[in-house]
Structure 1
Amino acid sequence: MKKNGPSSFEDILFEIGTEELPATNLADIFEHENFFEAKLKNIFEEHRLLFGEARVWATPRRIVCFLKKAASAQMPRETMTKLLSREDAYAADGSPSEKLGVILKHRNLTAKDLVVSPLNGKDTVFVKKIEPVQKTAALLPGIFEAFVQSLSFPKNMRWDDSGITFPRPIRSLLCFYGNKSIPLAIGNLRAKNETFIFSKSRRLRFAVKDIGAYFQTLKKNGVIPDPSERKKTIREELEKLARVSGAKLYEDAFLLSEVNFLVENPHALSAPFGEEFLKLPLEVLAVSMARKQRIFSVVDGRGRLLPRFLAVLDGQAKEKQKKAISKNMENILHAKLQDSLFFYHEDTKTPLEKKRAELQNLVFLKNAGSMLEKSDRLARLAKALAGELGLGAADQKSLERAAHLAKADLLSLMVGEFPELQGVMGKYYARENGEDEAVAAAIGEQYLPRTVSDPLPATPAGSALSVLDKADLVVTAFGLGLEPTSSLDPYGLRRSAAAIVKIVLERKMPLSLDRLFQEYRPAPAPRQKLEAFFRDRLKAVLLEAGYKEDVVEAVLACGDFGALQAAHRRVEALSAIVREPFFAGARKVAERTVNILKGNKEKLPDRIDPSLFAEELERRVFERYEQFQKPITDAVRTGDFRLATSLYGEGFFAILDQFFDKVFVNAEDLNVRRNRLALLRAVRDLYVPHVADLSRIQAGVS
């Protein structure tokens, strides 16, 4: 094996051709974090292979990995393994000791493999090993086999005796490094220089000579491998067709995401349906079309549904075929909408209050009681936390009533047919039952935001109910040990927690997580996990809002981050002053006090003893502490973090600079040393635990 690094760089292509993959699985993966892409990057980095860009794309029938400018060979790596101290390894005359000789013989090493290097101030003998460098082309078969086997889906299947599992059978493999075909195998299937494209229900084979030819073949046949590009194309075609009818596309982010992974060669069509169905609520019509036939609705300028639908086909169809497809869709839709009309009329015969009692027969989560118990819990939380949710008397009354009825629509025929209409139907049925509009609106908003593109609840009671409902799910799930893993989140707990954070921050609710958790009294272990979980969600929301990571980390490292609104205010305030002249001084004070106390394991006195001061600078620092204690504490208490930071730097930067220069903190006298550390702790604790650990903020960067 050669020992040098890469000498050239080429693109890499790997395609997994499959039978039709589940669209919802692909949407969950590629619409959010795309952890397939993260897996691909990680495996190449673990193999010490440099690359410029790594992408993983998917269509219903293929998963494509594409890396730009990948190195031709691994980067060299040198490892150092500690053996012995030099004095144990060699005799006085420099000859190997008996102990070293035994180690060399046992490990099949020679003196040439050894180097002497200092470790913690002591010369130490190490084994120096330069790992062999392998060519990329030789590594790719193993890399991609490991990559395929690492991909996790909600459900996998086996289709032959190879032991390989995947959501659908893998039917073809294709791999190139530059223009060189890579002979790899996964299970019983070997890679070939060919790809397949479906046209008119036929699987057509296309020979592929290199990476460029692969992408040309896809483009020529209308296949768009990149989901984001394909989604953009679908949206543009739908909006264009809607404009032809003088309408606008009705937004349905979930449907668009799903359809995006049902087609790889998208083409749209438009057709009418009967006006008699427009008496149904807009959401019912839209969902009836979207979920049963995956077709899109259109609305007029005032947001009213029009009697026309849009559909996306996989592949180009002739005009005659389009008409036949449209007519067939219209007939099916007519039958579905007749069912929806029947459900609506039947549901309105029974008030929500009467339906509510039957919630005892619905399970919330396994081992977590019924939906009636959850409904009762929401009503209790609404009463207990209304003040922390920022509600006045009228909104509190609406919240309590909405929480009481929130889950009753789960027993309706309409929600039984269309589960995604839960809450929405509760709103319409509450209106039919004569409930106040604020109550109906809150019931309708309790699940918002369902997706990242959804708006937040608009009403005070709706915002509060949404927070309580999501918090109940998250806290209960953690109590049952159902927290999400790195790749799976079946209960949508990350999404729920992020939504809670966003609503609390946007609506400026004074709610603290500590107060919320008090209502559940979770055991210590779930409580700690919950705090870490919400901390991560708060961090993600703040980073998404554009705040710098080091500023966010500085705030979350101390203080009560569970008071979400207060944590946000501290991040906002510090972000506005990081470039102010006084900030550098305050940062240095925090850095010096935090760092010197970081490794301290001694028990420090609760109070500073001035009689133990041995240096004039100790007394001066203490005087500064007494002088600035009240103004800084008052500024922190009133939320004037600019003033608090300014006073912190002004009060202690110069004096601590002198102190650390002239006073030896770790004095030999135990009492003097502990007293000095207690003094520095007092300076640190004036600011750091209440505002931010400024030592985490990069100097002059944020």
Structure 2
Amino acid sequence: MNTCLLEMGLEEVPAQMIQPAAEQLRQCALQFCKNHQLGEVQVRSFSTPRRLALVLENLPDQQPNRTKELKGPPLVIAQTPEGEWTKAAEGFARKHGIDLDAAEIRKIGGKAYLFVSRNVAGQSTGSLLKDNAPNWLQQLSFPKNMRWGSYRTRLIRPVRWLVFLWNGTVLPLSVENVQSSRETRGHRFLCETPVALNHAKEYEAALEQAHVVADPDKRKQRILDQIRELEGVQGFRVETEVELLDEVTNLVEWPTALVGEFDERFLELPPEALVTSMAVHQRYFPVYDARQSNLLLNRFVTVRNGDERSLTTVQQGNERVLRARLSDAQFFFNEDRKHAPEYFLAKGGQAVFFQGRGSQQDRGFRIQQLTERIAEQLDFSPEQRQQASRIAELCKFDLQTQMVYEFPELQGVMGGHYARLLEEPEVVCRGIREHYLPGYAGDALPQNLQTVPVALADRLDQLAVAFSLGMIPSGSADPFALRRAAQGVMQLLLGLQLELCSQDLVAAAVEVLTKQQNPDLETVKLHQQLAGFLLQRQRWQLREQGLAHDVVEAVLKGEQTQPLWQLRMAQYLESVQSQPSFKLQVEAVLRAVNLSQKNPLPPEFAVNPERFAHKAEHALHVVVAALPDHITSPESFMETLAQLEVPITRFFTEILVMDENPETRHNRLGLCQWISAWSLQHLDLRELVFPGE
């Protein structure tokens, strides 16, 4: 069996782009092996900041021989009525080098076609790789592809070298002016000369000798091992957050972990400010007391891209950089503490939220008004309403602080700290921080109930403002994260089991915005667009929970707009959908619904019991007249549905609804319309698909 190596050397690629690119390359190779029937080929991916590489092992000498079926012209064109081959058939045979005597006649869609089979010899794997590998590199997609110099190739960074080996033989490959060879590159500073590879199998070991750990998983494990060793020696605990560890792994080729320190006075800063300065801005790992898990120490772990030489110098350099950043943070923190929240709220009056929709201060007023309305819908006590209103009033004040201006990641976090220093109630301090939750699908939800109306109001106002300005997401473009905001609304309503109607929330958001900013807004259109957008997110949310498409459509196309009710109804529908009795109940109701839809009456039409001539009409009217206007649970809806089955079936069995007498006909259709309106008020049973249909 054979081994192939493909390596593309580049200038340093941004860390977050390396693994997606490496996976793209691996998928190209896997698809290539599948398409060409090369068997169980092992495809290994390697990547560092300066290279993307593949090693394909267990490659056969050539792909297997195969039979290829060729579809020719229709038989009416390929043969004359006398059975002679036409020029069309002869041209087909000549083009593919086959004998028409071996042709077969097959029918496709009732039409006869000419078919022939041709034996195709397998190509050598090396030649297939030579022809296909250039496409793999050309198909690489980065978030920011660029052109370099006068070349047409678009990549994230310039290509510096190429290695393309079939066992020990160099295969030809070029990217602009760079030609493939057997020479790779080691560490930029620890191995200054090119590394010649005699065989593709040598790749990983040869780079190890050249101070490059090419396998990202092994590189990550080496970093973890070094950190654990430092923990054992130093007696502290290092927080190795997954995303940071992955980023650091893709920043180095030869990792060496070391410990640094900073002045203890900086521990007066909020822990989040310290962690952000270290982890987000400097890619350092925060260090905690081993006995008190949440107690930050004035130390950090960083990973250099090099060996253990001059570690003291490297340590001092990193300490100097962090000291400058923490000094700035401490200055901003102290300056912010000189002012009350009202000072920053007033500053928000000079900060535009959206052009044409007021300032951040205006937005704060809207959030507060909307919060009070939602709190009322949630039946908050007077104390809870007051707390929710205070959270809403202060939830955005920290956006104008110097600390958040320098560290945007700390919005909400710093507001909570500043409020706590000013002795605001703890529920308010936590609410300022938690109203940003959830930040993404699957994120935590606010713990305090008083925070919930603020979190909803924040997102609803953002959506209403954006939609009023025509900033509606289209395709994959969503620069203002409106889908995430709408998704957050649904996560709050469903995750916290809030019995709130999305239509009511939208109406409140539109009304508050209109009154403050523009009484001339097209409120009806805005309401429809925003409600439809939330409905799409609700559809996505229900499908994500594994609910069937037909069930989701049934509940969403009803007139009920409470997401929690829709979720519970959808779950209940799935549990009873396979029951024969439920299918009979639905079919009975649908007879009335379908007949009503085909023969509509004015909405105000009233059934007149005095015109009933049959007992079946009276029996159905008794049940229909008792239909509850408000269904509190899916179970009660199903109970009512079951009560309708027998009288509806009897009604259609014993009576001709479409009577010749218009008054009689309309009266009977009125019963059907009554049933239809009640049914559609809750869900659209027409969308349901039963097993076997």
Q: Which residue of 296, 299, 305 corresponds with 1:308?
A: 299
1:22 aligned onto 2:14? yes
Q: How does 1:611-622 map to 2 (within 5 A)?
A: none
Show the counterpart of 2:578: 583
RMSD: 5.8
The answer on whether the counterparts of 1:573 and 1:642 sit within 8 Å (CA) in structure 2 is no
**1:563-592 CA distances to partner (integer Å, 9 max, x unpaired)?**
4433443455466x48xxx83536876999
| CA-CA distance at 1:143 after TM superposition | 4.8
Shift of 1:177: 6.9
Shift of 1:48: 7.3
Aligned to 1:124: 111
Alignment match, 1:690: 683
Name the structure 2 match of 1:173.
162
- Which one of 338, 342, 357 corresponds to residue 327 of structure 2? 338
For the structure 1 residues 140 and 202, does the alpha-carbon distance in structure 2 shift closer, same or farther, using more than 3 Å as the test? same
Correspondences of 1:25-424 after superposition (within 5 Å): 25-26=17-18, 36=24, 40=28, 44=32, 58-64=47-53, 72=63, 93=81, 117=107, 119=109, 123-124=110-111, 126=113, 135=123, 138=127, 140=129, 143-175=132-164, 182-198=171-187, 200=189, 202=191, 205-209=194-198, 211-218=200-207, 230-231=219-220, 234-235=223-224, 237-238=226-227, 241-242=230-231, 244-250=233-239, 252=241, 255-300=244-289, 301=292, 303-318=294-309, 321-364=310-353, 370-387=359-376, 393-424=382-413
Give percent identity, aligned residues only: 25
Report SS of the residue matched to 1:637. coil
Instruction: Determine the structure 1 residue equivalent to 2:568.
Output: 569
- 1:281 is displaced (CA, Å) by 0.9
Distance 2:639 2:133 in 1: 53
Q: 1:259 to 1:647 in 2, by over 3 A?
A: same
Q: Is the deviation greater in 447-456 or in 684-693?
A: 684-693
Contact 1:390 1:509 in 2 (8 A): no
- Please identify, of 588-597 and 474-483, the stretch whose mean Cα deviation from structure 2 is larger: 588-597
1:186, 1:310 → 2: CA distance? 39
Cα distance in structure 1, aligned partners of 2:528 and 2:129: 43
Q: How far apart are 1:418 and its partner, in Å?
A: 1.3
1:435 equivalent in alignment to 2:424: yes
| Conservation of the 8 A alpha-carbon contact between 2:78 and 2:87 | no
- Per-residue CA deviation, residues 649-692 of structure 1 (Å, 9 max, x unaligned), is 9979xx9xxx9xxxxxxxxxxxxxxx99x99xx89996998388
Q: Alpha carbons of 1:410 and 1:532: their partners in 2 closer, same or farther (altered >3 Å)?
A: same
Tell me the CA shift for residue 313 of structure 1.
Answer: 2.2
Cα distance change of structure 1 residues 69 and 556 upon mapping to structure 2, 3 Å threshold: farther
Gaps of 5+ in 1: 1-8, 608-618, 660-674
| CA apart distance, 1:556 | 7.3
Cα pair 1:269 1:310 within 8 Å, conserved: yes
SS at match of 1:267: strand
Q: Report whether the alignment pairs 1:639 with 2:633.
A: yes
Write out per-residue CA displacement over residues 433-454 of structure 1, whole angstroms, 9 at most, x where no aligned residue: 4433222212212333446786
- Sort the Cα spacing of 1:275 and 1:362 in 2 relative to 1 into closer, same or farther, 3 A: same
| Matching residue within 473, 493, 514 for 1:483 | 473
- Please tell me whether the aligned partners of residues 146 and 155 of structure 2 are also in contact (alpha carbons under 8 angstroms): yes
What secondary structure does 1:271 align onto?
A: strand
Partners of 1:157 and 1:167 within 8 A in 2: yes
CA contact (8 A) 2:167 2:201 kept: no
Q: Distance in 2 between matches of 1:448 and 1:130?
A: 62
Tell whether 2:541 aligns with 1:538: yes
**For the Cα contact (< 8 Å) 2:623–2:643, is it kept in 1?**
no
8 Å contact from structure 1 (residues 557, 692) kept in 2? no
Contact 1:483 1:493 in 2 (8 A): yes
Q: TM-score, normalised by structure 2?
A: 0.71
Distance 1:178 1:642 in 2: 72
Question: For residues 60 and 505 of structure 1, do their structure 2 counterparts lie closer, same or farther at Cα, with a shift above 3 Å needed?
Answer: farther
Query: Is the CA contact 2:506–2:531 (under 8 Å) kept in the aligned structure 1?
Result: no
Residue aligned with 2:107, SS: strand
- Give the direction of change, closer, same or farther, for the CA distance of 1:277–1:259 in structure 2 (3 Å limit): same
- Give the partner amino acid of 1:255: L
Provide the secondary structure at the position in 1 that maps to 2:152: coil
Residues 210 and 92 of structure 1: CA distance in aligned 2, closer, same or farther (over 3 Å): closer
Unaligned 5+ runs, structure 2: 511-522, 602-613, 654-667
Write the deviation string for residues 56-85 of structure 1: whole angstroms up to 9, x where unpaired. 66432223456788894799876869979x
- Give the distance between the partners of 1:515 and 1:131, measured in 2 at CA: 67
- The answer to whether the Cα contact below 8 Å between 1:268 and 1:310 also exists between their aligned partners in 2 is yes
2:598 corresponding residue in structure 1: 604
Once the two structures are TM-superposed, the CA of residue 555 in structure 1 deviates from its matched residue by 6.9
* 1:644-659 correspondence runs (5 A): 644=638
Deviation at 1:456, TM superposition (A): 3.4
Structure 1 contact 289–296 (Cα < 8 Å) conserved: yes
1:382-436 Cα offsets, whole Å, 9 max, x none, are 2333356785544443333333332222222111221111211111222334433
Aligned mates of 2:483, 2:214 — CA distance in 1: 28
Other structure's SS at 1:197 match? coil
The answer (yes or no) to whether the contact 2:396–2:412 under 8 Å persists in 1 is yes
Question: How many angstroms apart in 2 are the aligned matches of 1:649 and 1:75?
Answer: 65
- Tell me how far 1:286 sits from its aligned partner: 1.5
User: What CA distance in whole angstroms lies between the structure 1 residues aligned with 2:690 and 2:3?
Assistant: 38
3-state secondary structure, aligned to 2:328: helix
Contact 1:193 1:208 in 2 (8 A): yes
Alpha-carbon offset, residue 198 of structure 1: 1.6
Secondary structure of 1:429's counterpart equals helix
Counterpart amino acid of residue 314 in structure 1? N
CA distances 1:244-291 after superposition (whole Å, capped 9, x unpaired): 444333475553443233224433222332222211111111122223
Contact 1:115 / 1:127 at 8 angstroms: preserved in 2? yes
Once the two structures are TM-superposed, the CA of residue 343 in structure 1 deviates from its matched residue by: 0.9
> Does the 8 Å CA contact 1:36/1:56 hold for their aligned counterparts?
no
Post-superposition offset of 1:19: 1.1
Residues 684 and 147 of structure 1: is their aligned pair in 2 closer, same or farther, counting only changes over 3 Å? farther
Equivalent pairs counted in the alignment come to 636
Q: Is contact 2:353–2:359 with CA below 8 Å preserved after alignment?
A: yes
- The answer as to whether partners of 2:538 and 2:563 remain within 8 angstroms in 1 is no
2: CA distance, partners of 1:451 / 1:203: 45
For 1:137-163, what per-residue CA distance to the aligned partner results, in whole angstroms no more than 9, with x for missing partners? Answer: 555566554444444434333223221
The aligned amino acid for 1:206 is V
CA positional deviation for 1:533 = 5.1
Deviation at 1:292, TM superposition (A): 3.6
Q: 1:684 to 1:69 in 2, by over 3 A?
A: farther
1:554–1:692 CA contact under 8 A, matched in 2: no
Which structure has the bigger radius of gyration?
Answer: 2
Using the TM superposition, give the Cα deviation of residue 297 of structure 1 relative to its aligned residue in structure 2, in angstroms.
1.5
Aligned residue identity for 1:385: I
Shift of 1:353: 1.9
In structure 2, how many angstroms separate the alpha carbons of the residues matched to 1:202 and 1:17? Answer: 15
| Alpha carbons 1:181, 1:210 under 8 Å: kept | no
